[in-house]
Amino acid sequence: MVSKKALVAGMGCVCACGNTVEEAFQGALNGNARFELPKTRVDSTYTSKYPVFLVDPAVCEQKPSEQTFSQFFFIRAALEAFEQAGLSPDQLDSKRVGVIVGSSVHPSFHCFEIYKRWKKGPLTSTDIAGLKNYLATPLAQWVSNYFGFTGPFQTVVTACASGTDAIGLAKNWIETELCDVVLCGGTDELTESPYDGFIRLMVATEQRCRPFCKTRTGINIGEGAAALLLVSSQLAEKMCLPCQGYVLGYGNCCDGFHPTAPDPKGTGLQKALSFALQESGKTAADMAFVNAHGTASQANDSAESIAFKAVLPQVPVWGSKSVTGHTLGAAGAIEAVLTLQALNKRVLPPTIGFTTPDEQLQIVPVTRQTSISKQVAVSDSLAFGGCNAAIVLGGRDAA
């Protein structure tokens, strides 16, 4: 075994299509997901029109009052990852444990209620204390403190590419031997800011999203978290840890085309995909599929299709946001977990809702459960600010 290879020892997930890794993948296979109006979750004049993908209310009710939903979702996913790895956090006291968490909304807006009160009048001492806490505890630091880790931590905020970037950076921390173990992933919750924001950008839809479909009408916001426990192959062998798969390659590139719109030619994404493939030592011919960003917006799906034709020709495409919604900073992490599940179970779920090929895209995603034999796949993310990221993942039999 290669000592520096980043091995995934455990995974955890909570999102609209399931409360655990296994449930989420089964939800992806059969198309079941909690897709409904946000009701009391957001205070907006749009809540009677625009449905979203929500985490199970029974799960949300378990949230401790002192935690935000984003914190709660990630801790829940992390605990599942530790359980799957057969580890408890205190067993890692002698190890260099790093934490990298990607998030888009939470780092900027989990003091939103304080902001709204400030707009109406002076802040109270409680508000000021809450604001100080907000400034003093970045998400990854908070997670590290929660588990009592003493290694490096980093909160990644590259908008909707945050989760993918977090996993890619964690791979680098393992391979450069900065850490023995890295807890990584992404998390985001439904709040007014992204909910209203995507509506006002005129990319949200009142229907269920249909990635790459000619009749697609836009994005549905989602929420949730996913966590991956990365270790070196050498440490995994020494500690007899299970293998859920590998992070084989990572690439990112910022094209800076527009604050919110992707480069129509997908130039930055092409580079990110190429970098990830190069680092993994794999080619498009090795890929079982690509788990696309696939938001079902006109501009995103178009740019992505151009990049796929250039870098991943003939590679099957899966649009998993048809069962998770767009979970923003958590998206890349949730998609990584679903991608590894598909590789390990050797079956690719369908792209729910796709009915009509778009001749301008020249891409027809997988629309039914499909058996796969290859053990490598790629997952990509596009984000505001021109951020593009991609990771190449190998199943447990990829070594």
Quick: pLDDT tens for 328-359. 999 999 999 999 999 999 999 999 999 999 99
pLDDT at 121: 84
Residue 295, token pair as written in the block:
């938001």
pLDDT at 112: 73
Query: Tens digits of per-residue pLDDT, 118-157?
Result: 888 888 888 787 777 777 678 999 999 999 999 999 999 9
Query: Tens digits of per-residue pLDDT, 195-243?
Result: 999 999 999 999 999 999 999 999 999 999 999 999 999 999 999 999 9
Residue 143, token pair as written in the block:
């997670």
d(C-alpha 74, C-alpha 101), whole Å: 9
**Which pLDDT band, with edges at 50, 70 and 90, does 257 fall under?**
confident
Q: What is the mean pLDDT of the chain?
A: 94
pLDDT at 1: 37
Query: Tens digits of per-residue pLDDT, 52-111?
Result: 999 999 999 999 988 989 999 999 999 999 999 999 999 999 999 999 999 998 777 667
Q: Are 104 and 159 in contact (CB under 8 A)?
A: yes
pLDDT at 92: 94
Q: In this structure, what are the phi and psi dihedrals at residue 284, rounded to the nearest 5 degrees? A: -60, -35
Is the model's pLDDT at 258 over the cut of 50? yes
154: which strand partners? 100
Q: Are 219 and 203 in contact (CB under 8 A)?
A: yes
Is the model's pLDDT at 262 over the cut of 90? no
d(C-alpha 181, C-alpha 61), whole Å: 31
CATH homologous superfamily, domain 6-394: Thiolase/Chalcone synthase (3.40.47.10)
187: which strand partners? 225
Give the 3-state DSSP-derived string for the chain, with helices as H, strands as E and coil as C. Answer: CCCCCEEEEEEEEEECCECCHHHHHHHHHHCCCCEECCHHHCCCCCCCCCCEECCCHHHHCCCCCCCCHHHHHHHHHHHHHHHHHCCCHHHHCCCCEEEEEECCCHHHHCCHHHHHHHHHCCCCHHHHHHHHHHHHCCHHHHHHHHHCCCCCEEEECCHHHHHHHHHHHHHHHHHCCCCCEEEEEEEECCCHHHHHHHHHCCCECCCCCCCCECCCCCECEECEEEEEEEEEHHHHHHHCCCCCEEEEEEEEEECCCCCCCCCCCCHHHHHHHHHHHHHHCCCHHHCCCEECCCCCCHHHHHHHHHHHHHHCCCCCEECCHHHHCECHHHHHHHHHHHHHHHHHHCEECCCCCCCCEECCCCECCCCCCEECCCCEEEEEEEEHHHEEEEEEEECCCCC
Is the model's pLDDT at 2 over the cut of 70? no
The pTM of the whole model exceeds 0.85: yes
As a whole number, mean pLDDT of residues 175-203 equals 95
Give the 3-state DSSP-derived string for 232-296, with helices as H, strands as E and coil as C. Answer: EHHHHHHHCCCCCEEEEEEEEEECCCCCCCCCCCCHHHHHHHHHHHHHHCCCHHHCCCEECCCCC
Is the model's pLDDT at 324 over the cut of 80? yes
Is the model's pLDDT at 3 over the cut of 70? no
Query: For a pLDDT cut of 70, what percent of the chain falls above it?
Result: 98
- Look-up of token digits 């799957």: 84
Is the model's pLDDT at 391 over the cut of 70? yes
